[in-house]
Amino acid sequence: MSAGPVIVLGAGGHAKVVIELLRASGHEVFGVLDADPTPRTVVDAPVIGDDSRLESLKAEGVTHAFIAIGDNGLRLRLGRKAQRAGLELVNAVSPFARVSPSARLGVGIAIMAGAVINAESDIRDLAIINTGAVIDHDGLICEAAHVAPGCALAGDVTVGQRAFLGVGSSVIPGRHIGEDAVVGAGACVVHDIPASALAMGVPARVTGRV
Ligand SMILES: CC(C)(COP(=O)(O)OP(=O)(O)OC[C@H]1O[C@@H](n2cnc3c(N)ncnc32)[C@H](O)[C@@H]1OP(=O)(O)O)[C@@H](O)C(=O)NCCC(=O)NCCS
């Protein structure tokens, strides 16, 4: 399936994975925009400028965009900016992920290899479900949240806008992670985590604010 040429924003490690996923789904990657516009390639895709090029790309035949930037707030802002520039956000979904047919997916989402998204989960725009992460039934992953590699979210877990769950963290059923919260690697969340809290450990305790 090809949706027309895709511009990728971001040139780091996350962008490499995304570009390969987009190509594997039949997309043509037109090029990469990065804050550092020095000409170079990212897994063979050329860096063609910085974000200021975004507005002119539709006239050059680019129809789609993917925001491959780890910073959750920035990813959300640039995603909306790309949409205002007339570009559609594509999803980058690994053929080795398992997404339930009853799950709802927004746009601009990355779902990496080995991820599992179970029944009636709702993955909103610009979220990242990273390698091997599990979102069990009825999960709600809000806009631009990032669930890092190897996370395990039990059923009915909500992750707020722009929240980040560190690698290998887990969440027991029904808990809410507030917007902009950060959960440390390996934490086990057994209580709700407030918005903008930094939490870590087993069980996870709030240790500060982000
Ligand atoms: C939780 C986290 C955000 C804290 O970052 P930070 O504020 O820079 O923390 P520091 O490295 O300064 O460590 C502060 C203290 O917290 C402890 N700490 C840090 N991360 C911890 C974690 N995940 N679990 C338990 N304790 C942790 C440190 O040991 C240190 O304690 P000490 O002062 O007694 O030695 C970070 O350590 C983390 O876990 N990030 C996840 C990264 C990740 O998963 N990335 C995936 C990208 S795909």
pLDDT class for 1, splitting at 50, 70, 90?
Answer: low
Q: Residue 2 pLDDT more than 70?
A: no
CB–CB of 8/45 below 8 Å? yes
φ/ψ of residue 153, rounded to 5: -105, 120
Residues 41-51 have pLDDT tens digits of 999 999 999 99
Taking residues 85-91, report their average pLDDT: 97
Domain with CATH 2.160.10.10 in the chain: 93-203
CA angle (95 as vertex; 61, 170 as ends), nearest 5: 115
Is 2.60.40.1730 the CATH classification of the domain at 93-203?
A: no
- Token duo for residue 41: 């390639």
Active centre residues (catalytic): 137
Confidence of residue 93 (pLDDT cuts 50, 70, 90): very high
CA distance 42 to 202: 38
Q: In the beta sheet, which residues pair with residue 49?
A: 33
Write down the residue that tokens 């043509």 correspond to. Answer: 28
Name which CATH class applies to 6-90.
Answer: alpha beta
Name the percent of the chain lying above pLDDT 90.
98
> How far does the centroid of ligand 1 lie from the alpha carbon of residue 200, in Å?
7
Mean pLDDT for 125-139 is 98
Ligand 1 pocket check for 114: Cβ under 6 Å = no
- For ligand 1, atom 17, name the residue with the nearest CA: 200
pLDDT per residue as tens digits for the range 174-201: 999 999 999 999 999 999 999 999 999 9
Rounded-to-integer distance, Cα 78 and Cα 84, Å: 10
* Mean pLDDT for the chain overall: 97
Per-residue pLDDT tens digits for 144-177 = 999 999 999 999 999 999 999 999 999 999 999 9
User: In the numeric block, which tokens belong to residue 5?
Assistant: 């040429």
Please tell me the distance from the alpha carbon of residue 93 to that of residue 155, in angstroms, as a whole number: 21
Q: Which atom number of ligand 1 is nearest to the Cα of residue 166? A: 44
C-beta atoms surrounding 2 within 10 Å: 11
Band the pLDDT of 4: cuts 50, 70, 90.
Answer: confident
- What is the rounded CA–CA span in Å between residue 96 and residue 114? 6
Kindly tell me if the per-residue pLDDT of 206 is higher than 60: yes
Res 3: pLDDT: 75
Predicted pLDDT at 182: 99
Q: How far is the CA of 153 from the centre of ligand 1 (A)?
A: 20
Mean pLDDT of 25-48: 97
- Assign 69 a pLDDT band (cuts: 50, 70, 90): very high
CATH 3.40.50.20 in the chain is located at 6-90
Round to whole Å and give the CA distance between 83 and 180.
22
Residue listed under structure tokens 């959960």: 183
Alpha carbons 89 and 8: distance in angstroms, whole number:
10
pLDDT recorded at residue 196: 98
